[in-house]
Amino acid sequence: METSQQKEQFSNAYLQAVTSVAGYSLYRPAVDDDSVDWGIAAKGIIGRIRAPRLELQLKSTSRDVMKDNTISYPLKLKNYDDLRMIDFVIPRILIVVLLPDNPDEWIQQSEQELCMRYCGYWLSLRGMPETQNTSAVTVTIPRNNQFTVTALESIMQGIGQGIQP
């Protein structure tokens, strides 16, 4: 398997781990033609909405994109435009999973724990401005936007209250 495919599979596993611990279901569109790789669905009523959902574009990289308190990630223009729109019924976010360069360092495992390295970060591009760029847009993700169980629960509770991430 090529390294890019390994990165994709690892980021999928990261997303699945966080989502399963949060108690939500994952679904995958049959075709990714709208910059949606995965969807997350809650069961029952959360706030005012029954079965709130979230859709996302999932990326992974081992490039040096961390700068002080932010992640600077070059996103393809099509993905940027698809994710920045404001008229979606189901909110959308971008998740970028950062990985060590060496795949042998992605997981540390013992009888007591399975440690996935490094971390996923999320960003809502909803309402971002149009751009004159022709191929990519560098998006800036705050490092405190870690995609964790707590963060996902908070996002889903917000959606349940009618608040877009």
Partners of 103 in the β-ladder: none
The angle that helices 149-160 and 3-22 make with each other, rounded to 10 degrees, is: 60
Tens-digit pLDDT string for the chain (165 aa)? 999 999 999 999 999 999 999 999 999 998 878 999 999 999 988 889 899 999 999 999 998 888 899 999 999 999 999 999 999 999 999 999 999 999 999 999 999 999 999 999 999 999 999 999 999 999 999 999 999 999 999 999 999 999 999
- Structural domains of the chain, with CATH: 3-160 (3.40.1350.10)
How far is Cα 30 from Cα 37, in angstroms, rounded to an integer? 9
pTM recorded for the entire structure: 0.95
